[in-house]
Amino acid sequence: MDARLGAAAAYVRPGRAAADIGCDHGKLSAWLAGSGRCPRVFACDLRPGPLEKARKTCAPWADKIELRLGSGLSVIAPGEAEEIIIAGMGAETIMEILEAAPWVFDPRYNLVLVPATKHSLLRRWLARWGFDLRAETLCQAAGRWYAVMNARYTGHCFEPDGLYCLCGRMQGQPGAGDYRAQQCGKLKKYRRGLAPGPEAEAVDRLIEEMEEDKWPQL
């Protein structure tokens, strides 16, 4: 597995059933079952092609892995798996999947989320919907930065500030400075499309904080 999937696997609690949503090639599902970390794994994907690849990858552990074709968490019944991994898709898609499965709004479920894009949006969504972003791992795969997030529902909702949304829990991790610079660059690009007004002024203040090397107070 690459660094991204390795970081995701590290957040999965041992001895519990896991659902790998958007399993693609099935490498993570195969590792979770083959390593003995999870006694049961549900490898799920929306498309038949990737699921067939996953079937071949997972064949040596077919007694521990069940493949399911379908959209998001609709293929998992509440309680079938307590470890929920959603990786390889954009933040907005991850948010839609979680909103469509209200049973995950429960502390028993451990979420491992790896957004391919728009990390900031997912951090904001988690805060607003009452999920605690317990930890993050910053890693690179195929030349891209990934934020591997571990979250659980607490019911405590709050409105996060801009620094938290952009930087999360990355301070002190290898590569955090480069990641921060990348996030600041995206923010500046967004700022160029704003008309003068309160929003533009708020973004200007956030850019200033980023350039002053400030980090969120966690």
Q: Record the tokens describing residue 33, joined without a space.
A: 């079952």
The pLDDT score that the predictor gives to residue 136 is 97
Write down the H helix ranges in the chain. 3-10, 27-34, 48-57, 91-99, 119-128, 162-167, 176-192, 198-211
Q: Are 120 and 166 in contact (CB under 8 A)?
A: yes
Q: Are 216 and 165 in contact (CB under 8 A)?
A: no
Last residue of a domain, one of 129, 157, 185: 157
Number of domains in the chain: 2
The pLDDT score that the predictor gives to residue 46 is 92
pLDDT-flagged residues of the chain (< 70): none
CATH code of the domain containing 152: 3.40.50.150
Supply the pTM of this predicted model: 0.94
The pLDDT score that the predictor gives to residue 88 is 87
The pLDDT score that the predictor gives to residue 53 is 95
Residues of the domain holding 108: 3-157
In the DSSP assignment, the letter for residue 216 is -
Last residue of a domain, one of 122, 157, 192: 157
SS3 state at 102: helix
Same structural domain, 28 and 83: yes
Question: Exposed e or buried b for every residue in 169-186, given b needs 16+ CB within 10 A?
Answer: bbeeeeebeebbeebbee
Tokens 């954009």 map to which residue? 90
CA distance 155 to 129: 7
Same structural domain, 63 and 124: yes
Same structural domain, 138 and 68: yes
The pLDDT score that the predictor gives to residue 142 is 82
Same structural domain, 96 and 187: no
CA distance 160 to 60: 44
The pLDDT score that the predictor gives to residue 86 is 98
The pLDDT score that the predictor gives to residue 77 is 96
The pLDDT score that the predictor gives to residue 217 is 83
